[in-house]
Structure 1
Amino acid sequence: MTTNKNNSVPKKDDNYTHNINRNNERSLDRRGFMKTLAGAAGVFAVASLPWGALAAKELMGLADKEYPHQKITNVNDIAVGDSVEFHFPSEHDSAVLIRLEESKYVAYQNACTHLRCPVYWVKEQKEMVCPCHHGVFDVNTGAPTAGPPRRALPEIVVHVEDGAIFAVRVKRYEA
């Protein structure tokens, strides 16, 4: 192995992947480490842009997104003050429909906005309750009235047609 006038190893002898002479190994100093770190961060940022754009597009259009109408129950099968559990918009999203008056229905996703515990309709108290941390929600608006939850339950828009109640879409969170 030869060295040139700058005391550096010629390119043909600078094999740092299979180097027998350990004195010739390149060392990673702080500046090199920071450059590598910044380069890796840049690669990750650029690689995540398409997914971030997709997520932003989904969130921006959430209020207008209408799902295929899903039948919840028949009007005759639910008495005033009773509730029916169903899944909407997917089979993994649990929800509850409550008949408040003869022709007034409300539906909410029944996962508490605090820690996603299930929320139950308590007919006698006329309120929605999260038993995990004693959260209470107003049945007319879905807004929290007691406990740690700060955001309202996501409301599901329902539509009555031909004696049946259908879930249409999920309303977007209001800040």
Structure 2
Amino acid sequence: MTEKNNKIPFNEDNYTHNIHRNNERKLDRRGFMKTLVGAAGVFAVSSLPWGAVAAKELMGLGEKEYPQQKITEVKSLAIGDAVDFKFPGEHDDAILIRLSDEKYVAYQNACTHLRCPVFWVKEEGEMVCPCHHGKFDVQTGAPTAGPPRRPLPEIQVKVEDGAIYAIRVKRYET
């Protein structure tokens, strides 16, 4: 019968034989915290340029100009009717409503709750978001019912040479 070698290859009193090796860096609590604070500092400093870009964009929101865009002809929009258009970009849905002979209002028609489309209901004289029964005042774009808390972004329009033009998106007033 052969004898098995059941001998432990290190001193039985030292079960931490692999912790202290040559050239191994010791990391205690203080060293760990220094590393953690250093990493957080690197992340904070690396995010500063993006924060500056975002702040510049937000601060310049009121002055941002877009090329004016023709929406429709005055004669093709009856009082009480609405027309959909895109402004300021091709993916930004908007709605123009003619309230009287001389009064036009336009808003971006994505609900300020969850971006569902907002529709003009001529018979009821109100703007409605069918997703969660949100309603907006046609004169101001302010929410009047449902979950939306912010007004619809207003688009300033002008009438020139028998046509209606979108000029700019009005900045929120806080």
TM-score (normalizing by structure 1): 0.82
Letter in 2 for 1:23: R
Question: Deviation at 1:32?
Answer: 2.8
In the alignment, what sits opposite 2:134?
135
Letter in 1 for 2:146: G
Question: Deviation at 1:102?
Answer: 1.0
Question: Deviation at 1:151?
Answer: 0.6
Question: Deviation at 1:66?
Answer: 1.5
Worse-matched range after superposition: 21-30 or 155-164: 21-30
In the alignment, what sits opposite 1:101?
100
Distance 1:110 1:142 in 2: 10
Judging changes above 3 Å, is the alpha-carbon distance between structure 1 residues 43 and 160 closer, same or farther for their aligned structure 2 residues? same
Question: Deviation at 1:30?
Answer: 3.3
Distance 1:96 1:36 in 2: 54
Q: Secondary structure at the match of 1:48?
A: helix
In the alignment, what sits opposite 2:125?
126
Aligned length: 155
Question: Deviation at 1:27?
Answer: 4.4
Which stretches in structure 1 are left out of the alignment for 5+ residues? 1-20
Distance 2:27 2:115 in 1: 46
Worse-matched range after superposition: 133-142 or 74-83: 74-83
Matching of residues 154-169 of structure 1 within 5 Å: 154-169=153-168
Corresponding position: 1:84 with 2:107: no
Q: Secondary structure at the match of 1:63?
A: coil
Judging changes above 3 Å, is the alpha-carbon distance between structure 1 residues 23 and 88 closer, same or farther for their aligned structure 2 residues? same
CA-atom RMSD in angstroms = 1.6
In the alignment, what sits opposite 1:23?
21
Q: Secondary structure at the match of 2:62?
A: helix
Matching of residues 54-69 of structure 1 within 5 Å: 54-69=53-68
Letter in 1 for 2:74: V
Question: For the pair shown, which has the larger CA radius of gyration, 1 or 2?
Answer: 2
Q: Secondary structure at the match of 2:21?
A: helix
Question: Deviation at 1:79?
Answer: 0.9
TM-score (normalizing by structure 2): 0.83
Judging changes above 3 Å, is the alpha-carbon distance between structure 1 residues 38 and 90 closer, same or farther for their aligned structure 2 residues? same
Letter in 2 for 1:145: T
Which stretches in structure 2 are left out of the alignment for 5+ residues? 1-18
Distance 1:164 1:33 in 2: 68
In the alignment, what sits opposite 1:117?
116
In the alignment, what sits opposite 1:70?
69
Judging changes above 3 Å, is the alpha-carbon distance between structure 1 residues 36 and 81 closer, same or farther for their aligned structure 2 residues? same
Question: Deviation at 1:103?
Answer: 1.1
By percentage of residues, which structure has more helix?
Answer: 1
